A and B are shown apart, each in its own frame.
Chain A
Amino acid sequence: MTRTWADMAAFESFLDDGGIVEVDDHMPDEYRQAVFAFIEMHANSELMGGLTERDWIPRTPGLRHKMSVLAKTQDEIGHGHLLYMVAADMQIKTREEMLEDLFAGKSRFHNVFHYQAVTWGDQVAIAFLVDAAALASQQAVFKNCSYGPYRRILKRIISEEGFHMRLGEDRMMRIAQGTDTQKEIFQGALDRWFWPALQLFGPDSKPDDVLLRWHIKSERNEVLRDKWVQKFVPMLQSYGFTVPAPDLSYDEEAGKWDVGPIDWEPLKRTLAQGGPDSARRINEAKDNWERTRWVRDAMDRAATVPA
């Protein structure tokens, strides 16, 4: 019931021909490890993002927005469920092991969840800028992803992330048409979130990036990052906000924006769990897992109770 390949060259030629790998195939171990690590980081990021979103349910202004934050929280946690299942099926770590590693600070999640959201403006900036960056990355994976179970689950995730991005734009437009104080709050948030959102795409892809070679990613990091810059710089400016890039320039001839040199140190710090809010976030996620243990225990006990 499984497919096998004679060697890596045969496997890569299968992938180059558009082949889709399924969970019960004898995929090369390097491929299994690389795809697993990628999905695990995605799953962790959904969980960490969902917990942040949850923190904002009581603090979100207005019932309409509050309800949309509820829906978004459920989406993010739901994406975590779907992705941990796909990752666990690769039989490298169980779901429990993945969560233990996350809470022990041993595994990665996206840089943007290593910062604290201080004001409602931050939540607007996250939904508008960060969700768009995450969606662009996910779309570039979905487009040509060689690992079937991940590709199929991404389809569902992407459609829901689109909802989050539209919410973000809606909130941003409202705040842009608001009072001077509201505009100041959003500008402050923009100053905090513009660079982390841009850094989400990562540094330029290396020529030997296996994720590109094995058709997990279909686009280079720098290409996705540049598309995001070309879309969001003029959009933010058109709403009257200042892009916090001192070296920002516009090339008339190429018709393109350039944000200037990018400092990658903040990204590296977050990947080593050394971001401004990493420790608190990880501890909070761990505490949450402990606080909700009784729910999981009750569900497990349901299996042993006679009907």
Chain B
Amino acid sequence: MHTYEIFLKKDGRDEYRHAGALDAATDDLAMVMARESYIRRAEGDRLWLVRRDHVIVADPDLIAPNADKPHRHHDGSAVAARRKAMRNEGASS
């Protein structure tokens, strides 16, 4: 018996999304049970099953520093301020 994580996707409009999990003895049985448990009403037209013990989970410490990289963002306010200043200069000359 293995636990499988279920990912569904619909119509190419979104990413695969995690929908839940189930236990099954084989990949084939997991596929049938996923269809019966998660896709009875066309909730998706693509299905991925991933065995839970194959999922590689990131340590938060590895990911956390990426919240602290201001040089990877630009909210545009400095550009807007400069643009406004240039416009004002142009108007006054």
Q: Could you list which residues of chain A lie within 8 angstroms of chain B, going by C-beta atoms?
A: 1, 3, 24, 71, 74-75, 78, 81-82, 85-86, 89, 95, 152-153, 156, 160, 299-303
Which residues of chain B have C-beta atoms less than 8 A from A78's C-beta? 36-37, 40
Give the interface of B toward A (CB within 8 A).
Answer: 1, 18-26, 28-29, 33, 36-38, 40-41, 43, 57-60
- B20 to A82, Cβ gap below 8 A? yes
Contact yes or no, A302 B26, CB < 8 A: yes
CB-based nearest B residue for A74: B40
* CA of A196 to CA of B91, assembled, Å: 76
Q: Is the CB of B22 within 8 A of A85?
A: yes
Residues in chain A near residue B18, CB distance under 8 A = 152
Contact B59–A95 (Cβ < 8 Å):
no
* Residues A81 and B22 in contact, CB atoms below 8 Å apart: yes
Task: Specify the main secondary structure of chain A where it touches its partner.
Answer: helix
Taken together as a complex, chains A and B put the C-alpha atoms of A299 and B27 apart, in Å, by: 11
Closest chain B residue to A298, Cβ basis: B25
Beyond the given A152-B18, A302-B28, please list 13 additional residue pairs across the A-B interface where CB-CB is below 8 A: A1-B58, A1-B60, A24-B57, A71-B40, A74-B40, A75-B40, A78-B36, A81-B22, A85-B22, A153-B20, A299-B29, A301-B25, A302-B26
Query: Chain A residues with Cβ under 8 A from B29's Cβ?
Result: 299, 302
Q: How far is the CB of B27 from chain A (nearest CB, A)?
A: 10
What are 8 A-B pairs at a CB distance below 8 A?
A: A74-B36, A75-B40, A78-B40, A81-B22, A81-B37, A82-B20, A156-B19, A299-B25
**Contacting B60 at CB < 8 Å: which of A3, A86, A299?**
A3
Known: A1-B58, A1-B60, A85-B20. A303 touches B37 (CB 8 A): no
- Chain B residues with Cβ below 8 Å from A153 are 20
A302 to B26, CA, bound (A): 7
Question: Do A85 and B25 contact each other (CB < 8 Å), given the known contacts A78-B36, A78-B40?
Answer: no
Residue among A75, A152, A301, A303 facing the most chain B CB atoms (10 A cut-off): A303
Question: How far, in Å, is A27 (CB) from chain B's closest CB?
Answer: 16
